[in-house]
A and B are shown apart, each in its own frame.
Chain A
Amino acid sequence: MVDTSQPDPRPSWSRHESPPEQVSHLRLVEGETYADWNAAYLDNVGRLYRLMYSRVGNRPDAEDLTSEVFRAAFVPMRIDSSKAEVRAYLVATARTVLAVHWRRRLGLSVTSIDPETDVAYLDDDQQPDDGGVAHDWAVRILAALPERYRRILELRFLEMCSVKEAARAMDVSTSNAKVLQHRALKMAAKVAEAMS
């Protein structure tokens, strides 16, 4: 028997396998349609980019993958589809594009998109800079790390310091900063696993 009383703290894309009991959330189907392709693009480009960015963690890949999704989706898509259908199609395309990206780059899936839950990224009520569950998850992992591990990850990934700058800020050598970063990420991965 699996205890389902505690919600899984991890964002959906980081889970290795589906939770034991899949819950399908019924969504309100919007009847509203877009006036034209441009309206569909402008309404969704920011949110789709944010979804991709949350899965790859860097701008160049997020831009490439967002472009790929729109270019792949817009050609066969019917613009007289409802907004909800357009968004569902974009997210479904994004899932495939991201899967292909990881297979080509690393030979396995690092992150993924779940069309059932991640279509919420394209909802109208999504805030522009709302990291949501993924943000909270990262903050909790950082908080669980020893001070030096947390600091090196904050400096490198949140404050965008170079290795040299991070080493200087922590008063360690550059090579030591690299080792710290590697160990910190390894420990963070273990913390994430334990948290799940």
Chain B
Amino acid sequence: MRRRLSACADALASDRGTPSFDADESDAEVLRIAIAIRAARPGDGQPSNDFVARLQQQLVRDLDGVHRPANARVSRRARLAMGAAAMAAVMGGALAATAGVEYSLAAAGVTHSSQNQLLRVGTFESAQGRTIGQIVAYRGHPSWVFMSIRDGVMNGTVGCQIHLSNGHTAPTGIFVVNNGRGEWARTVSFDVGAFRNATLTSPQGATLATATFTRA
């Protein structure tokens, strides 16, 4: 039995899943200690970006199969938002390929016509010149805006406005940046082809970062 317990402790030390065996209370006491010490290792309590994105996509699929008449409007919007944000999380620092966008939209149950597609991207830069995130706009049915922020010093509620080529401004909403990270997605009714740039603002209206749209 000691060998099984040691194998279990070795698995913990190597960051592998706990193997199965018939443990007794003294084994459990030892494993509690091993878990406590292992969990005290700084930095290991954070989930990987890959895991967060994978689970997000899984939840999109799960929620897509649920019939929820009482919450039908919210449910559908939520599914679409999660599919889009999952894509935004997956793309990380690289620009999204059109195929990636289409995969996520397909996963979210969105239909669109291929001849009208347009993908535009922008990189958010802070006033100090730091690159802090990306924004991707997709023209389809519906059209979407995806945003991903990675900035260690940003925290709290952030507003976003998209400026159009005709001089008008389209307020696209607010989202939360938590400990320097935030993803956000929503449908838009404006023509993505008319997008010129985007601005992130603080709740007090100060400009935090700007991005200029280019064609992907």
> C-beta contact mask, B1-41 vs A, less than 8 Å → 1, else 0?
01001101111111111111111111111111111111111
B40–A186 touching, CB < 8 Å: no
- Tell me how many residues of B have a C-beta within 8 Å of chain A: 68
Q: Looking at the assembled complex, report how far the CB atom of B162 sits from the nearest CB atom of chain A, in whole angstroms.
A: 19
Contact at A46–B35, with CB atoms within 8 Å?
no
Q: Is the interface of A mostly helix, strand, loop or mixed?
A: helix
B167 on interface, CB distance cutoff 8 Å: no
The 8 Å CB contact of A57, one of B10, B34, B183, is B34
Contact B35 A37 (CB under 8 A): no
A42 is an interface residue with CB less than 8 A from chain B: yes
A contact residues, range: 35 or more
Q: How far is the CA of A39 from the CA of B186 in the complex (A)?
A: 12
A107 touches B22 (CB 8 A): yes
Q: Given A37-B59, A39-B176, A182-B9, do A109 and B28 touch, yes or no (CB 8 Å)? A: yes
Chain A CB within 10 Å — which of B13, B22, B51, B178 has the most? B13
What is the total of A-B residue contacts with beta carbons within 8 Å?
204
The answer to whether A37 touches B51 (Cβ under 8 A) is no
Residues from chain A with Cβ under 8 Å of B15 in the complex: 58-60, 160
Q: Find residues 31-76 in chain A having any chain B CB closer than 8 Å to their own CB.
A: 36-39, 41-43, 45-46, 49-50, 53-64, 66-67, 70-71, 74-75
Report chain A residues within 8 Å CB of B38. 57-58, 157-158
B residues near A (Cβ < 8 Å) are 2, 5-6, 8-48, 51-52, 55-56, 58-59, 62-63, 66, 71, 74-75, 77-79, 81-82, 85, 176, 178-179, 182-183, 185
Interface residues of A (CB under 8 A from B): 11, 14, 36-39, 41-43, 45-46, 49-50, 53-64, 66-67, 70-71, 74-75, 78-80, 104-111, 128-129, 131, 134-135, 137-139, 141-142, 153, 156-158, 160, 162-163, 178, 181-182, 185-186, 188-189, 192-193
